[in-house]
């Protein structure tokens, strides 16, 4: 992977700033982000008012907007939830790190099955003589809803399920080729554009597992992600290869699409359904699959991450290779 301007956005130490939100480090960081794609600093007023809400989460709210100089082009505008005025320096530092991760990683990625991160907007407003900071991320708008809603509808045909699965794996293969592990793959973080093009989004939990000039794998630690889709090694509190947890999550997503339910609530031995799978390799859902997908999903949900199938091996699987995707 070649060097990219976004790499310079990673700062090794934010603790030297007295306050992130008033620091020169923060100002230079956001100025660089805001100018990265357009060559000029965008402002919130360059976009329309909210057309409608697209979603919300722990880190921000997403709205549908358009550029005033091009009303026919729609965007998803994510407004980050900034820690309150009296937030601790540690809270500010965590927020700073999250923004670095989500934008710097997202802006590196350009693939048909990954949402395009377009730009950053960083505005200060004065309200009652007090400065308020508003930070936005401009993203490609996906007009087809998310995979969670598609699953909930119960209307996914076998053909569309297989096509979604193949696109998901193609997007993941690209991420891994770029040295990025997502770590929070789930139906809510998968969108559709024009009702058929699958897009992976939300890189707030993502990590770089490989630097541009090294093949050494940087292991992750800590509980990150959504419990039903998390791999067993994530619950061990030991360092793990973040690529393997993405493979696991995709296996769970396939089962959720195929059966409209999850095989277990969490991959921990106190969960009886998972315990039977981990110890005996038996699951009513998995054993009921046709032979081709059953063998592949079984390898993707191998409890031992050292034995779990890799992304390269998935693309060599005979059944997977013959999935037709329009």
Provide the annotated active-site residues. 184
Between CA 240 and CA 236 the distance in angstroms is: 9
Between CA 119 and CA 160 the distance in angstroms is: 32
Buried b (16+ CB within 10 A) or exposed e, 161-195: bbbbbbbbbbbbbbbbebbbbbbbbbbbbbbbbee
Which residues contact residue 239 at a Cβ distance below 8 angstroms, ignoring those fewer than 6 apart?
A: 219, 220, 221
Between CA 193 and CA 196 the distance in angstroms is: 6
Provide DSSP, 285-315: HHHTS-HHHHHHHHHHT-SSTTTSPPHHHHT
Between CA 122 and CA 234 the distance in angstroms is: 35
Helix (H) or strand (E) holding 138: strand 130-140
User: Does the annotation place 78 within a ligand binding site?
Assistant: yes
CA neighbor of 14 nearest in space, from 35, 37, 30, 34:
30
Query: Which residues are paired to 146 by β-bridges?
Result: 191
Instruction: Show binding-site residues for ATP.
Output: 78
Instruction: Show binding-site residues.
Output: 78
């Amino acid at each position: 992977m070649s060097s990219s301007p976004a790499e310079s956005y990673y700062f090794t130490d934010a603790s030297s700033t007295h306050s992130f939100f008033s620091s020169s480090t923060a100002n230079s960081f956001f100025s660089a982000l805001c100018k990265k794609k357009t060559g000029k600093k965008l402002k919130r007023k360059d976009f329309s008012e909210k057309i409608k809400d697209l979603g919300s989460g722990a880190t921000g709210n997403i709205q549908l907007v358009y550029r005033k100089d091009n009303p026919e082009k729609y965007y998803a505008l994510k407004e980050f939830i900034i820690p309150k005025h009296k937030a601790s320096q540690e809270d500010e530092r965590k927020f700073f790190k999250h923004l670095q991760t989500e934008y710097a990683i997202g802006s590196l990625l350009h693939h048909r099955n990954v949402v395009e991160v377009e730009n950053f907007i960083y505005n200060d407003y004065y309200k009652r003589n007090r400065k308020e900071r508003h930070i936005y991320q401009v993203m490609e708008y996906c007009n087809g809803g998310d995979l969670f809603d598609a699953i909930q509808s119960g209307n996914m045909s076998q053909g569309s399920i297989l096509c979604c699965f193949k696109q998901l794996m193609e997007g993941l293969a690209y991420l891994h080729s770029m040295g990025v592990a997502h770590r929070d793959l789930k139906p809510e973080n998968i969108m559709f554009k024009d009702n058929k093009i699958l897009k992976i989004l939300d890189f707030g939990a993502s990590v770089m597992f490989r630097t541009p000039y090294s093949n050494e794998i940087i292991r992750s630690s800590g509980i990150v992600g959504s419990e039903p889709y998390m791999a067993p090694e994530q619950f061990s509190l030991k360092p793990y290869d973040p690529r393997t947890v993405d493979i696991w999550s995709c296996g769970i997503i396939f089962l959720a699409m195929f059966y409209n339910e999850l095989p277990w609530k969490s991959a921990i031995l106190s969960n009886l359904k998972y315990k039977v799978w981990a110890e005996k390799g038996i699951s009513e859902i998995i054993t009921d699959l046709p032979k081709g997908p059953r063998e592949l999903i079984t390898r993707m949900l191998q409890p031992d991450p050292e034995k779990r199938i890799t992304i390269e091996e998935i693309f060599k699987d005979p059944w997977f290779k013959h999935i037709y995707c329009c």
